[in-house]
Structure 1
Amino acid sequence: MIIKEVISDKYAEQLYSLFERKKWRIEEIGKYSVYDRFCERLAELENDTQRDLILDLTENFLWVNSGMYEKYLIDAFYKLFQDEDWKPEKGKNIFICPLLPERDFEKKKSSTFMLYLCESILLRTYEEFQDGQIRICETPEVVKEQKYRDAMGAIILIDDFIGSGQTALECLTYLKFLQEEGKKIYILTLVAQKEGVENIQKETGISVYAKVVREKGISDRYDKEEAEEKRKEMKKISRLLQAPKGMDLGFEGSESLVAMNKTPNNTFPVYWCERKGHTHAPFPRKENVKTIRVEKKTEGEENSERRG
C-alpha cells in the first residue's frame, strides 16, 4: 500500500474501516491497490458532500471477483432447478449458450468466460443434468442448425451480469425462432439489476435466474426528494471526471453498484472512469488489457490471395 496524504485522516479511516467490513484486500502486489485508487478518487472530488455520498453508496457496493464466480454460478443454477418452470424436454439435450447479441459473436465477452465454468466437475455431478447430455455452444448462431434444434430439450443463456437488459433482448431477438418453435429458454446470470430482469420479463416473458438481484443505487434507496438531490450530485461528479456522454448515472441510467471481473458500464462512472489528467479509478474498465485473435477473411479476400 502506498502511504499518501491525499485525503484527510477522517476519510482515510472511514474508507479503511469500510474495506475491512467488506473483507476487501487493502494491500496488494503492484504500485496501486484498490484502496490507494479509492483514496485518490475521493481526494479528486470537489467537496465533502460528494465524498460522503460515495462512501455511503459504497457500503452497498458488490464486488464479485473471479474467485467468487463458481459459487455464484452454482447458487444461480440451484435457483433455476428449484423453480417449478424448470421443465426441459426429457430424453433431449440441454444447451448452454452465452447471452450474446449478434454484433458480439466474434468478441471475447464475459458470457463466453462463463462457459468454461459450466464445464466444471461440480456441474457434471448435478442430478438435474444426469438424464440428458449438456451441449455448450460458443455462440448463439450454433443453434440455428436444424440438427441441434431437433435435439434440444432446453437452452440456458448465460452471463455474469445483466444491467439494463438490452444485451439480453438483442440476443433473444436473434433467437426468436426458438420461441416460435416452443423451445424452453432460461436466462441465468450471477448478478442482475432488477430493472433489467423486469424489462426482459415484460418484453419476452422469459424468466431470469440470478444469484443476486440489485436495485438502483440511489433511486431505489432514498425517498424521492433525497434521491433527486443525490442524483444531481452524482451527475456533477461524473462531469468532473469527464464520464462518457450519457453515462452520468451509468449506462441507461442503471445506477448500478457492481464490479465483476470487469466493471459494467452500468455502474456509476466514479468507480470506473479514467480520463487523461484524472486519478486512477478503484474498479477501472479501461481497454489496456485486450484479447487479440486471427481475423477471419472473407471468401473474396482468400481468393484474391490465392491469385496473387
Structure 2
Amino acid sequence: MYNRFKYVEYFGGPNFGKKFLQKQATKQKKKFSAGLSVQKTVNIETDVLDAMKSNDFFNRYLDPNESVFLSRLSMLYGKLDLDEQKALFLNLVRAYVYLPPSAYESLYNKAYAKVRKEFPNAKRIVWLPTTFQFFQKVSSNGESFITLNDTKSSDLMLYLTHGVFQYAHTGGNAQSILKNASICSFNNSLGIRPKNPNDTIVMLIDDFIGSGQQCMKAINKYEKNGIKVDGVMSLAILETGLNLLKKRPNIHVFVGCVAKDASKIASTDELKNLSASLGISKFLPNSTALITMIRTPNNTLQIFRNKTKSAPFPRGI
C-alpha cells in the first residue's frame, strides 16, 4: 500500500501524484473524524501537524498539511488517552527519518564525498552488496570461483551507483566498476584487486544499515574468501550499527545520515506500553528504528509500520 503512494509521483507525473495523495488524505481524514467531535479532531491534527512541521525530513520531502501521513498519524494519536503517551508519540514523530526515492541521490553524494576525501588516490572503486548468499562453484577447467545471488536493497544501491557515475560529474579520477552481485562472478580476489592493489578500494554499499550484524557478516564472508574490504557506504544507518562497525579498525564507514532509535528516546517499558495502547500485542524490542525509505525496514518501530491500512508507513505492499 505504502509503496504505491511512493511511486505514484514517478509513474503518473507530479500533478497526478499530488491529486492522488490528496484524495487518499481526504479518505483517511473522513475515516479518522468519524465519531469524534470537530474540536477534538482539530486538536489532534494540530498536535500531530506541529510535530511533523518540526521534523526537517517531513518538511523537506512532503507537505505535512496535505499528507496522507498526517491523517494516519492522527488516527494513532487519537487512540491515546494518557498524556505521557501522547507526549512520547509526538516526540517519536519529531525524530522520524523519512527518506523517499527523491532523497537518495543527495544522500549518496554526501556519503560518496566522504569516501573520496578518505581515499583521494583511489583510481578504481569496486562496489559490492552487504546482503547476499555465497555460492562456491567450480568451472569446467577445475578453477574455483564465487558467485553472489540474492536481490536486496543493496542491489538497488549498486544500480544507483552506476547511474550516478554514468550521468553525474563526480570529480576525482575514480573509475566505478559495477559489481552487481546478482549477475556477476569473479575469480576469488584476483577480479577485485588487479596488479596494483593500492589503486583499488573495495566498498560495501547499502541504503540502510540497522544493527550492523548483517553488514558485519558480509565483511567477514568477503574476507574469508580473500576479498579485503576497505569500507562501508550507506545512505542511512542506526547509531547501533555505526558503533558496531567502528569496532573494526580497518573498516571505514561513510553515511548520508544517522537515523534515530526509539530506544534512545524512551525506555523499553514505555515503548511497550505505547505499542499496547495502539493495538500491538507483541512488542519487538529489537525493532525500534525510526525510519522509512523506499521501503520501511523491518526493524522500524511497529506502531509506524504494522501491516494495517491505517499504519502511517506500512511495510506490506
Which TM-score band (shorter chain)?
0.7 to 0.9
Q: In the alignment, what sits opposite 2:22?
A: none
Q: Indicate if the aligned counterparts of 1:163 and 1:192 stay in contact, CA closer than 8 A.
A: yes
Mean Cα displacement is larger for which, 205-214 or 74-83?
A: 205-214
Q: Are residue 281 (structure 1) and residue 311 (structure 2) matched?
A: yes
Please report how far the alpha carbon of residue 247 of structure 1 lies from its aligned counterpart in structure 2 after TM superposition.
Answer: 1.6
Report Cα offsets for 1:192-240 as digits up to 9, x if no partner: 1121111122157412100112353342x5xxxxx43xx3221123345
- Which residue matches 1:201? 246
If each structure's strand is expressed as a fraction of its own residues, which one has the higher value? 2
CA deviations 1:79-103 (Å, max 9, x no partner) are 11122x5654x5xx42112211428
Give the TM-score, by structure 2 length.
0.71
Extract unaligned runs of 5+ from structure 2.
Answer: 1-24, 136-147
Instruction: Give 1:90-129 correspondences, 5 Å limit.
Output: 90=123, 93-102=124-133, 106-121=149-164, 125-128=169-172
Cα RMSD (Å)? 3.1
Q: Secondary structure at the match of 1:175?
A: helix
* Distance apart, 1:35 and its partner CA: 1.7
> Which 10-residue stretch deviates more, 266-275 or 62-71?
266-275
- Partner residue in 1 for 2:303: 270
> What is the CA–CA distance in structure 2 between the aligned matches of 1:57 and 1:158, rounded to whole Å?
28
Distance verdict in 2 for CA 1:46–1:203, change over 3 Å: farther
Distance 2:65 2:120 in 1: 44
Residues 109, 206 of structure 1: CA spacing in aligned structure 2 closer, same or farther, 3 A cutoff? same
Cα gap change, 1:248/1:135 in structure 2, threshold over 3 Å: closer, same or farther?
closer
Partners of 2:178 and 2:286 lie apart in 1 by 38
Give the deviation of 1:249 after TM superposition.
5.3
Q: Give distance in 1, aligned partners of 2:223 and 2:184.
A: 12
CA contact (8 A) 1:101 1:168 kept: no
- List alignment gaps of at least 5 residues for structure 1: 222-226, 289-308
Could you state the TM-score of these two structures normalised by the residue count of structure 1? Answer: 0.73
In structure 2, the residue matched to 1:159 is 206
Map residues 14-29 of structure 1 onto 2, 5 A cutoff.
14-21=47-54, 22-23=58-59, 24-26=62-64
Task: Return the letter of the residue paired with 2:306.
Answer: C
Contact persistence 1:248–1:269 (CA under 8 A): no
Secondary structure of residue in 1 paired with 2:298: coil
Secondary structure at the counterpart of residue 100 of structure 1: coil
Return 161-170 or 148-157, whichever deviates more: 148-157
**Quick one: percent identity of the two aligned structures?**
23
1:141, distance to aligned residue in structure 2 (A): 7.5
Residue 115 of structure 2 aligns to a residue in which SS?
helix
Secondary structure of the residue aligned to 2:261 is coil
